[in-house]
A and B are shown apart, each in its own frame.
Chain A
Amino acid sequence: MPIEFSHVSFTYNPKSKIAKKALDDVSFKIEEGEFVALIGRTGCGKSTLVQHINALLEPEEGEVIVDEFISSSDKKRRSKKLHHVRKSVGVVFQFSESQLFEETIEKDVAFAPKNFGDSQEEAYRKAHEALAKVGLGEEFYKRSPFELSGGEKRRAAIAGILAYGPKYLILDEPTAGLDPSGAKAMMDLFRSINESGTTILFVTHDMNLVLGYANRAIVMDKGKVVRDSSPFDLFKENLEDFSLETPPIFALAKTLNEKGMKIDKESLKDVSLFADNILKNKGGAK
């Protein structure tokens, strides 16, 4: 089983006045090759859940299994080799630009591959590849990460994770604070990475991204998983209880559907596909 959560609970500051239950009996499985969106209001436990996947936090109750690696509340069952899980799971944290520290960008991006046992040349080769993927060309290699713009820093930080080619990519609000075209380019990059076989779980507040990219959406509320379905099925419901918003394009499709137009649900992923769908229905397709 690639990623499996079984009855995971977690409490911050247990047994104190400020104890806060962040995860409450969370169970789900993620298969290889999925592109999963994790959504829910702020403070519902998304980030806590993310940190369980590569054993930065250990469950208070229950088990998290990633391939062979077991992170469990039961000490006897717990796997010892953190290195393996860290290598197979890449986490891009919120505001990941704050992790940059080296003198040059290529050195910073090569940090993780080197940590996971690559030679100097190998690490730099992977770094260059990753930088090319995120759209930072050769002219950036020798620059200091601290003189970049916010968006460029973010991309350098994401390259720092992509560089070691993790099998599972966890993205905590990867597009927060990026300009719209930069965000789209980033999400398209993640889609292509997903298509080449990497499993992706991303946390977001942007429902358009959920509809446009994910093939599955997990909704959390107050530490529990409350919905786990395809984005299409999810948006059919009234989502205000979870402080989620139906994407405008979906709302439009729903209204058109109610008025008798047939909508192909796959076309909702992209505005121009959706437009073609409408034109075809109107009989005016080119």
Chain B
Amino acid sequence: MKDFALGRYIPVESPLHRLDPRVKIFATLALVVCLFLPFERSVLHEGKDVTVTAWTISAIMLGIFLVLALLFFAIARINPLKLWSSMKSLWFTILILMILYILLPNFTVPTLGIAFRVEQMNWTVYWDSFASAGRVIGRLTIVMMFTFLLTATTKPLDLTYALQWYLTPLKIIYAPIAEIFAMTISIALRFIPTLLEDVDRISKAQASRGASYSNGGIRRKIVGLTSLIIPLFVSAFTRSEELAYAMICRGYDPKGKRTRYHKYRFHFGDLFFFLFASAVLALFIVLIVTHFDFIESWFKVSLP
């Protein structure tokens, strides 16, 4: 639990930390969308025009995104290796992905050549399979980097506020979703450490009574687990009841208009970052729609 870095706020003073959370959410979404846009080109195959993945361009773009993500890490003054411990647990997923892409190739025409052949089974594996797997892994890694940065540089409450802001249009249909959503999320976030403390306390009390979560037969383990879960639920329900009463006593009204202690102001940096993310998104959409192959038009060579 301690080593799990994903989704945790890291308090450092940096330009990225100061950025408006709404801009950060928008930028993360925009960059992730760009990351998943496919670069394609047409080739002539058996007399027909077939669209295939433009691997060189895809690889270059992934590289650019990786550099961009690392640049953001540097700006946020966070060591990208902090993500490493969370990524390590992904190796199994990566392995499965590799196998899946090799067994079930999802391209129409191979463009990268044969990797190896198993003659007896008449089975050919193309480099395209490895490229596809590599692309998915690269994309996932970079998505993780971006989302890690978002949560690491934005306080949970600011994130909630930003999400709430994006949900404001729902007010037109008189849905109080934004307020309820914000309050629910902020309470949930607030009580995660409290619940973890409860887990610690109760599991110690039960361990003293000889309960076991890891040793012994399956029956013993199940009983051990119930001895933890039931008291945990009981304490969570007791707490929520107490909290509800405390909120009522202090005059909480779900329909009331919320004000904020900390007002967000749109700074120049926010505007710049917003424009940057929008520009990247626009550029990518143009590149995709026009099938613009910059390698061919600039360097006069044709690469896969």
Q: A93-B201, A100-B231 are in contact. Are A111 and B211 (CB under 8 A)?
A: yes
Within 8 A of A (CB), among B56-91: none
Contact flags A75-91 to B (C-beta < 8 A → 1, else 0): 00000000100110111
Q: Which of B207, B210, B230, B234 contacts A56 (CB 8 A)?
A: B207
Q: A111-B209, A112-B210, A161-B209 are in contact. Are A99 and B234 (CB under 8 A)?
A: no
In contact, B205 and A93 (Cβ under 8 angstroms) = yes
Q: Which of A87, A91, A98 contacts B202 (CB 8 A)?
A: A98
Q: In this assembly, does A146 line the interface, its C-beta being within 8 Å of a C-beta of chain B? A: yes
A163 to B278 alpha-carbon distance, docked (Å): 68
Considering residues B204, B206, B209, B220, which has the most beta carbons from chain A within 10 angstroms of its beta carbon?
Answer: B209
Q: A98-B234, A99-B231 are in contact. Are A86 and B207 (CB under 8 A)?
A: yes
Q: A93-B201, A93-B204 are in contact. Are A98 and B211 (CB under 8 A)?
A: no
Q: In this assembly, does B226 line the interface, its C-beta being within 8 Å of a C-beta of chain A? A: yes
Q: In this assembly, does A198 line the interface, its C-beta being within 8 Å of a C-beta of chain B? A: no
In contact, A91 and B226 (Cβ under 8 angstroms) = no
CB distance from B150 to the nearest CB of A (A): 22
Give chain A's interface secondary structure class: helix
Q: A93-B204, A98-B201, A101-B226 are in contact. Are A115 and B211 (CB under 8 A)?
A: yes
Q: A98-B235, A101-B226 are in contact. Are A87 and B210 (CB under 8 A)?
A: yes
A99 to B224 alpha-carbon distance, docked (Å): 12
In contact, A90 and B231 (Cβ under 8 angstroms) = no
Shortest Cβ distance from B235 into A: residue:
A98
Within 8 A of B (CB), among A96-148: 96, 98-101, 111-112, 115-116, 146
Residues of B with C-beta under 8 A to A89:
208
CB distance from A22 to the nearest CB of B (A): 14
CB distance from B199 to the nearest CB of A (A): 11
Shortest Cβ distance from A55 into B: residue:
B207
In contact, B205 and A99 (Cβ under 8 angstroms) = yes
Q: In this assembly, does B51 line the interface, its C-beta being within 8 Å of a C-beta of chain A? A: no
Residues of B with C-beta under 8 A to A96:
205
CB distance from A174 to the nearest CB of B (A): 13
Residues of B with C-beta under 8 A to A164:
209-210
In contact, B212 and A91 (Cβ under 8 angstroms) = no
In contact, B235 and A86 (Cβ under 8 angstroms) = no
Residues of B with C-beta under 8 A to A90:
208
In contact, B208 and A101 (Cβ under 8 angstroms) = no
CB distance from B48 to the nearest CB of A (A): 62
Residues of B with C-beta under 8 A to A93:
201, 204-205, 208
A98 to B227 alpha-carbon distance, docked (Å): 10
A111 to B211 alpha-carbon distance, docked (Å): 8
Residues of A with C-beta under 8 A to B227:
99, 101, 111
Q: Which of B204, B226, B234, B235 contacts A51 (CB 8 A)?
A: B204
Contact flags B195-226 to A (C-beta < 8 A → 1, else 0): 00010011011111111100000001000001
Q: Which of B204, B210, B231 contacts A83 (CB 8 A)?
A: B210
Residues of B with C-beta under 8 A to A160:
209
Beyond A99-B209, A112-B210, 13 additional pairs, beta carbon < 8 A: A86-B207, A86-B209, A86-B210, A98-B202, A98-B234, A98-B235, A99-B206, A99-B231, A101-B227, A111-B209, A111-B210, A115-B220, A146-B234
For this complex, 29 residue pairs linking A to B, each with C-beta atoms less than 8 Å apart, are: A51-B204, A54-B208, A56-B204, A86-B208, A86-B209, A86-B210, A87-B210, A91-B208, A93-B204, A93-B208, A98-B198, A98-B202, A98-B235, A99-B202, A99-B205, A99-B206, A99-B209, A99-B227, A100-B231, A101-B226, A101-B230, A101-B231, A101-B234, A111-B209, A112-B209, A112-B210, A116-B210, A161-B209, A164-B210
Closest 6 CB pairs of A and B: A115-B210, A101-B230, A112-B209, A99-B205, A91-B208, A93-B205
Binding site for A on B (CB under 8 A): 198, 201-202, 204-212, 220, 226-227, 230-231, 234-235
